């Protein structure tokens, strides 16, 4: 069974960061080493987006376990953005196979 999480951050943040800012700052963070670590901790899927109207930042992730996700976040010292909400998703149904 997979564990899906939707992360959302209303924008601009209290620090004035836009949704585009939150996406852009991740570009240099995501190195081949980070990608390998995520995979080893059970990450099956992860994407981040800015809402077209700039009102929010979104990320969606699929992990084998929440424990693996937490270990990854601790290893890389990844903290929530200001105002971030993590929503656990259940009831997985879709048109294509799970990643």
**How is residue 68 written in tokens?**
């693996």
Could you read off the pLDDT of 16-29 as tens digits, one per residue? 999 999 999 999 99
**What average pLDDT does range 40-64 have in this prediction?**
97
Backbone phi and psi for residue 27, each to the nearest 5 degrees, phi listed first:
-55, -50
- The residues spanned by each domain of the chain are 3-89
**Residue 72 pLDDT greater than 90, yes or no:** yes
CATH number among 3.30.70.100, 2.30.30.100, 3.40.50.300, 3.40.190.10, domain 3-89? 3.30.70.100
**How is residue 74 written in tokens?**
């601790």
**Alpha-carbon span 51 to 9, nearest angstrom:** 10
């Amino acid at each position: 069974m997979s564990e899906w999480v939707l992360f959302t951050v209303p924008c601009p943040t209290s620090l004035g960061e836009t949704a585009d800012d939150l996406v852009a700052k991740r570009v240099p963070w995501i190195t081949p080493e980070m990608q390998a670590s995520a995979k080893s901790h059970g990450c099956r899927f992860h994407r981040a987006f800015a809402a077209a109207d700039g009102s929010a930042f979104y990320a969606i992730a699929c992990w084998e376990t929440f424990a693996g996700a937490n270990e990854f976040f601790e290893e890389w010292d990844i903290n929530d953005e200001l105002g971030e909400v993590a929503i656990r998703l259940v009831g997985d149904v879709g048109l294509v196979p799970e990643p």
